[in-house]
Amino acid sequence: MFCFSRRYEVHGEQGGISTAITLPEGFDPERDRCHMAVLMHGFMSNKKAKVLTAISGALAKEGIASIRFDFNAHGRSEGEFRKMTISNEISDASAVVDYVLSLPYVSSVSFVGHSQGGVIAGMLAGMLENDTRKRPLSLVQLAAAAVLKDDAIAGRCMMSKYDAANPPEYVNVMMHKLGRPFIVEAQKLPVYETSMKYTGPVCLIHGKEDKIVPFSYSEKYHELYKDSTLTILEGEGHFMNKKAKEIVRLTVDHIKRNAEAH
């Protein structure tokens, strides 16, 4: 397995996006071609999230490349957190997909997203449904945080509360400033309506003990997608660290199976 970083090879609306590409051991970018998974982290996380790095390593063992990246204002990417929105995270992910598909050794892509990254992955897949070049071969959503819309409507984020009818310029959320633009957009965000446009195979995984995003949100995704499987894991919480091996196995199997089908 070969992993290398490229800082600011990609740029989003808030500036440079820090990325890390992992290639299978023995892979020659000058000679070989491969499928690549685009891995998307969650709210206030980064590309080093344990579940994503574990998936990245497991994919490499199966001959599949991956790219992890920091959304704007996260990790080593540029930007101000209070200017972060779902829209500009979708734009970040889209820019990463464009970059990946410009690499001569990449034949096709799949998307994997955890929590808020799961929302981004689903919405972007739906937006790309009719783009034969960029459309992902498969999608994996880990505890996708579709709850963010209901939270914004209710005036809450994590332990913080605010007036949903008149959101402040920013809300303090665990030492971060969540900006009003995020809240206002989230209240009207077409999460499911956009995601369900994707007709490819979807693997939904959710912890039954998730206290941040109830598993009912993944159940709704499952009802709306045309081709999806749903696994609810007993004893697993939001951060996917109790049954990591099973989560990695389900994710890698899904991506590999659908990549090989093409």
DSSP code per residue over 81-104: GGG--HHHHHHHHHHHHHHHHHST
**185 with 85: CB under 8 angstroms?**
yes
Alpha-carbon gap, residue 35 to 255, rounded angstroms: 9
pLDDT digits (tens, 9 = 90+) for 55-76: 999 999 999 999 999 999 999 9
Alpha-carbon gap, residue 140 to 229, rounded angstroms: 10
pLDDT digits (tens, 9 = 90+) for 156-184: 999 999 999 999 999 999 999 999 999 99
pLDDT confidence of residue 8: 80
pLDDT digits (tens, 9 = 90+) for 140-154: 999 999 999 999 999
Least confident of 7-11, 105-109, 208-212, 245-249: 7-11
Q: In the beta sheet, which residues pair with residue 108? A: 35
Split at pLDDT 50, 70, 90, the class of 1 is low
pLDDT digits (tens, 9 = 90+) for 193-231: 999 999 999 999 999 999 999 999 999 999 999 999 999
